[in-house]
Amino acid sequence: MKIRNMVILAVLAAVVLVFLSGCDMCAPREPLNADVFLEVMESEGYEVIDVLYENEGMAEAFNTFLVVIGEDYRFEFAEFAAEEYAITAFASAQAYIESARGATRSYRQVNLANYSLFEQTSAGAFAYVYRVDNAILRVNSDVEYSPHVRTLLDRIR
Domains of the chain, by residue range, sit at 27-156
Quick one: 127 exposed, middle or buried, by C-beta within 10 A (0-12, 13-18, 19+)?
Answer: buried
Q: Write down the pTM of the prediction.
A: 0.79
How far is CA 36 from each of CA 49, 94, 123, rounded to the nearest angstrom?
15, 24, 31
Beta bridge mates, 79: 64, 135
Taken as a whole, the chain contains a residue count of: 157
Tens place of pLDDT per residue across the chain (157 aa) = 566 655 454 445 444 444 433 455 566 667 789 999 999 999 999 999 998 877 777 778 899 999 999 888 999 999 999 999 999 999 999 999 999 888 889 999 999 989 999 999 999 999 999 999 999 999 999 999 999 999 999 999 8
Q: Are 42 and 58 in contact (CB under 8 A)?
A: no
Domain 27-156 in CATH 3.40.1000? The answer is: yes
Give the Cα separation of 87 and 141 in Å (integer).
23
Quick one: 9 exposed, middle or buried, by C-beta within 10 A (0-12, 13-18, 19+)?
Answer: exposed
